[in-house]
Amino acid sequence: MADPAFGIVNRFPGGNEEQYRNGIAVVHPPEGLPEGQLIHAAGQSGDDWIVIALWDSRESWERFRNETLLPGLQSAEGTFTGPPEESTFSIANFKTG
């Protein structure tokens, strides 16, 4: 796996695991991760649902967000009620155990 170059943290206020699973079924390919996404982690944080993903480039993330994620969440039933609060970062250091 290539080292990731770009990361995102998406916070879905008031979100939950059921909404996440409904959404992921629409926006992720059945065989795994979208093209360019290297790592995906998600979970509950207080009242919010958090998704953290590492990407091979900002361009891969933006293409997925604009062409797949946001349209998919808008059209899917039983998913999040609005777009995420997005935070992004360039990866300066990446290590695995």
* CA neighbours closer than 13 Å in the CB half-sphere of residue 61: 22
Contact (CB, 8 A) for 20 and 42: yes
**Would you place residue 85 in the very low, low, confident or very high pLDDT band (cuts 50, 70, 90)?**
very high
Read off the pLDDT of residues 9-59 as tens digits, 9 standing for 90 and up.
Answer: 999 999 999 999 999 999 999 899 999 999 999 999 999 999 999 999 999
**Would you place residue 71 in the very low, low, confident or very high pLDDT band (cuts 50, 70, 90)?**
very high
pLDDT at 1: 60
Spatial strand order in the sheet of 48-55: 37-45, 48-55, 6-12, 85-90
pLDDT at 83: 85
